[in-house]
Amino acid sequence: MTPALAVSRRPGAIAVATVAVAVVLSACGGNGAGGSSGGASGGEKIGVSLITKDSSNPFFVAMQKGAKEMAAKQGNIDLTVASGKQEGDDQGQITAIESAIAKGDKGILITPMSTGVNSAIKKARDAGLFVIALDTPPDPPSTVDITFATDNFKAGKLIGQWAAAQMKGKPATIALLDLFNDKIVSVDYNRDQGFLTGMGIPTKDPKKNGDEDKTGTYSGGSYTIVCNEAGNGAEDGGRSAMERCLTKNPDINLVYTINEPTAVGANAALKAQNKKAVIVSVDGGCAGVSSVKSGVIGATAQQYPLKMAQLGIKAIYDIATGGTKPTTSPGLDFYDTGVALVTDQKVSGLDSITSDEASKICWG
């Protein structure tokens, strides 16, 4: 897992979460401008809990930073930031949700770990909390009040289209390094299925990884899918997953990865065996953009975690102060916070930005 970045603390009222999980405590307050319904300065504090999957991945560190900044700007918000211990820690998130209910928070922002936290989310909504999912739409989407997220299928499709062009009609021998093999998470199957769709490889069940035909044709030629291995979104997991794939077939020339830490691990496994492959990923953090610039990652799809968290804080503030509830993007069951293809090897007909351009708007 990528080491956590240092996060500054702002002065103000401190909301302490007494949960037995990895917890980052922050206090955000001040006299910032209010939302559309007017400021709440001097009034009742608005309790909000941000619950991420972990507190070390730069993506979630950036999300925490965005939430703190917006909470400080809005004013009168007591923000508690909590997380699971690691990817897959359903119980850690459940404990944090129960703590938010007990504290009387007005709302929760959560990157749901899996369907395993759905019952706890329902309990929070039944208690009157407005629950917003960030980054990872729950399954089903109606589990929460609304989701602010990247269009993860589109993110996967963009890197799939780019990868297909890079193959230039050559046989594609593919490794798919997913998130989990024992949990159903929308971000996992949407990115994987989007990548395959972008490659021109027919998919079957859109919510299931690994059920597509293992051989066939993509948009430029023939393909073989060697493996679907889980890397748990971490560098060490990505390396182990890639090692397992190379054991099955040492001639892999294209690697899809769920995120950039997984991509870095996959690259390390390839280098250790003196192998090279085109690697594509999703996230767009500063470390990932640097990996694009150095050539470790051929292309990534950049998403915007600070924006997700800022929109979430603003939405709960507005609702708590009499404003309107947020709505989904046209044609989608979530609010799309945007995505951009990042590569220094531009493909004709495919919109993208360079690593230098992406470095100006990256996070982490």
pLDDT at 43: 67
What is the spatial distance between Cα 320 and Cα 265, in angstroms, rounded to a whole number? 43
- Taking the C-alpha atoms of residue 285 and residue 37, their distance in angstroms, rounded to an integer, is 34
CATH topology agreement for domains 23-150+305-326 and 152-302+339-359 = yes
Q: Which CATH fold topology does 23-150+305-326 show?
A: Rossmann fold (3.40.50)
Work out the number of other CB atoms within 10 angstroms of the CB of residue 275: 15
Q: Give percent of the chain with pLDDT exceeding 90.
A: 82
In this predicted model, what pLDDT tens digit does every residue of 261-314 receive, in sequence order?
A: 999 999 999 999 999 999 999 999 999 999 999 999 999 999 999 999 999 999
- In the predicted structure, residue 9 carries a pLDDT above the cut 80: no
173 has which bridge partners?
A: 224
Residue whose C-alpha is closest to residue 106's, from 265, 322, 308, 333: 322
Residue 197 Ramachandran class (φ > 0 left, ψ -120 to 50 alpha, else beta): alpha
Architecture of the domain spanning 152-302+339-359: 3-Layer(aba) Sandwich (3.40)
What is the pTM for the complete model shown? Answer: 0.81
> So what's the pLDDT on residue 57?
86
Domain boundary assignment for the chain = 23-150+305-326, 152-302+339-359
**DSSP β-bridge partners for residue 280:** 256, 299
What tokens were used for 272?
């250790």
Residues 131-142, mean pLDDT to the nearest whole number: 94
Backbone angles phi, psi at 122, to 5 degrees: -60, -40
